[in-house]
Amino acid sequence: MWLGREQELKTLKQIASSDRAEFLLLYGRRRVGKSELIDRFIKSQFGVRLLAREESEALQLKQFSEVLADHFQDGLLKTNPFTKWDAFFSYLADKSKERVVIALDEFPYLVEANHSLPSLLQYHWDQKLRKTNIFLILCGSSIAMMESLMGSKSPLYGRRTTQALLKPLQFADALPQLGPMRHAVEAYSVFGGTPAYLVEYDRHKDFRHNIRGKIMSPERALYRDVEFVLRQEVREPRSYFSILESIAKGNTKIGHIINDTGLDKGVVAKYLGVLIDLHLVQREVPVTEKSPGKSRRGIYRLSDHFFRFWFRFVYPHMQAIEQGRQDWVMDQVLRPRLDEFVGPIFEQVAREVLQILDRAGRLPFRLIKIGRWWDKDAEIDLIGIGENDNLFCEVKWSDNVDASDLIHKLQEKAAGVGLPGKSHFCVVARSFKKESAGALHLDLKKIEKLFLKV
C-alpha cells in the first residue's frame, strides 16, 4: 500500500531530470518505506533496484548479474556473471550513456561482505561513473553505517550529490489509512508513522481489535518487531531496552533514567547518544532556548510512536500476554492510561495543524519556529514564535473543554515566558463546551477539514 511520500517522489523525479550523474544516499529505519519509494520512482524511469542479501560476495554478484542481464536483455552477462566489483561498476558505466537508475538496496549488507567496497566505488565514480548519466542510489536501513558514508573519513566523502533521510509519515499522510478523526489520532499514537506498521491497522475494526489482534498477539509480526529492529542496530540490547522502557514510562531527564535503570551515568549518556543517532530518541529543549545544544534543560523522548507504545504497554507485560491474558492488559493497564498516552501525540498533531494554517497564511503572523516550553512549575504545550508576535497554545485530548478557563490560565503562564511582542492564544481539544472571545479554537471537526484540504 502506497502512503504519502508524494513530495519525496517528486524530489527524486526532479533530481533525475538533471543533465549530470547523480549519486543519492537514501536511508532510514527499517519498515519506513525506502524500497517502496524506489520502486515507485523506477516505474517512471529506466532503472532497476538490486536488493542485497546477507550472503557471500560471490553470491551477491551472481544475483546482481542475473537481474541486470534480464533488465538490459544481455544474454552474455547471464552466462558470464560478474566475479569482481570492478567488472560490475565498469558494466554500469558502459550502460549509462543514457539516464539509468541503479539502486543498491541494503547497501550495508554489501559492505559487510567486502569492507573495501566504498573504496572501489570511489575509484569507479571518480574515473568513469561521474562522467555518465547514471543515477546511482545507495539505500540502507543501518542509519549509523549510511551516515558514516557521508563522513570525512569515508572514501565516498564528497561524492554524493544528494542525501535523504526518510522519516516516518506525519499524521496528515497517515490519516487516509486510519479512518475517522478521533480513532485516527488514537491509532497514530500507537502505530506511528511507519508505513509497514500502519498498513497492519484495519480501519474497519475497532481500536481494541487492532491492538489485541495485531500487537498483543505473540504469533503476529508486530509483537516482536521492535526487538528485531533493535537487535539489528545495537550490540547490547538489554541496556538499550532498559533505557527505552524508562523513557516510555515518563522518565525524561537523564538523572531519572539513571535512578530508574540503575545503569552508570556514563553508560546512559553513551547509549542515549546512540539512540539519538538511530532516530529512536530525541533530545528536546524549550522552544525559547537560544542555544539548544548547550541547554541544560533538555529532556529525552521516544521519537517513534510505535516504540513508545510497545515499551509502555507490551514489553513490561510480555509474560501476561504470552499467558493469554491480553484482556487484562487491555482493560487494566492500557485503557485507564490511554488518554494520558495519546495526549503528547495530539500535541504533535496540533503542531502540524498550526503549520498548515501558517503555510496558508491563516494565522495572525508567520511562524519562525514552534515547539513546547517548560520551566520549573509551568508548561505550555506549544508556542509559535514570530518576528513580533507569539502564539501560546494549550492542547487537551478531552471533550467539552471550557476554553475560557484555559485561556485565562494560559495568559498567566505566557506572562512568565518573557517573550517580547504581541501575544495570541489558541486552544486545541476534541470538543468545546465554551469558547473564549479573541482566541483560536480548533476541535476535531475543524482539524479533520483542514487535513482533508491538504
Q: What CATH fold (topology level) applies to the domain 6-165?
A: Rossmann fold (3.40.50)
Is residue 105 within 8 A of residue 139, CB to CB? The reply is yes
In the structure, what pLDDT confidence band is assigned to residue 2 with cuts at 50, 70 and 90? low
- What pLDDT, on a 0 to 100 scale, did the predictor assign at position 428? 98
Mean pLDDT of 294-320: 95
Mean pLDDT of 344-350: 97
Question: Is the per-residue pLDDT at 233 higher than 90?
Answer: no
| CATH assignment, 171-342 | 1.10.10.10
Encode pLDDT of 396-407 as tens digits.
999 999 999 999
For residue 169, give the amino acid letter.
L
Encode pLDDT of 185-221 as tens digits.
999 999 999 999 999 999 999 999 999 999 999 999 9
Closest CA to 183 of 206, 159, 153: 206
Encode pLDDT of 5-57 as tens digits.
889 999 999 999 999 999 999 999 888 999 999 999 999 999 999 999 999 99
Encode pLDDT of 102-111 as tens digits.
999 999 999 9
| CATH assignment, 343-453 | 3.40.1350
Question: Is the per-residue pLDDT at 419 higher than 60?
Answer: yes
Percentage of the residues of the chain whose pLDDT score is greater than 90: 88
Domain spans, the chain: 6-165, 171-342, 343-453
Closest CA to 310 of 263, 244, 258, 251: 244
How far is 408 from 427, CA to CA, in rounded Å?
11
- What are the beta bridge partners of residue 125? none
Mean pLDDT of 354-358: 97
How far is 2 from 415, CA to CA, in rounded Å?
46
- Measured in whole angstroms, the distance separating CA 38 from the mean position of its chain's CA atoms is 17
The secondary structure of 219-267, three-state, reads CCHHHHHHHHHHHHHCCCHHHHHHHHHHHHCCCCCHHHHHHHHCCCHHH
Mean pLDDT of 244-266: 96
- What pLDDT, on a 0 to 100 scale, did the predictor assign at position 177? 87
How far is 184 from 113, CA to CA, in rounded Å?
43
303-306-311-316 Cα dihedral, nearest 10 degrees = 170
For residue 385, give the amino acid letter.
I
Buried-exposed string 97-131: b where 16+ CB fall within 10 A, e elsewhere: eebbbbbbbbbbbbbebbeebbebbbebbeebbbe
Question: Is the per-residue pLDDT at 381 higher than 60?
Answer: yes
Using CA of residue 397, residue 403, residue 407, residue 408, what is the dihedral sign?
Answer: negative
- What pLDDT, on a 0 to 100 scale, did the predictor assign at position 338? 96
- What pLDDT, on a 0 to 100 scale, did the predictor assign at position 375? 92
In the structure, what pLDDT confidence band is assigned to residue 377 with cuts at 50, 70 and 90? confident
In the structure, what pLDDT confidence band is assigned to residue 4 with cuts at 50, 70 and 90? confident
- What pLDDT, on a 0 to 100 scale, did the predictor assign at position 109? 94
- What pLDDT, on a 0 to 100 scale, did the predictor assign at position 403? 94
pTM equals: 0.91
- What are the beta bridge partners of residue 300? 283
Encode pLDDT of 92-149 as tens digits.
999 999 999 999 999 999 999 999 999 999 999 999 999 999 999 999 998 888 999 9
- What pLDDT, on a 0 to 100 scale, did the predictor assign at position 454? 65
Question: Is the per-residue pLDDT at 422 higher than 60?
Answer: yes
What residues contact residue 208 under an 8 Å CB cut-off, 6+ apart?
A: 330
The reply to whether 171-342 and 343-453 are identical in fold is no
Is residue 54 within 8 A of residue 108, CB to CB? The reply is no
| Mean pLDDT taken over the chain | 94
Compute CA distances 379 → 357, 383, 407, 411, whole Å. Answer: 23, 10, 14, 12
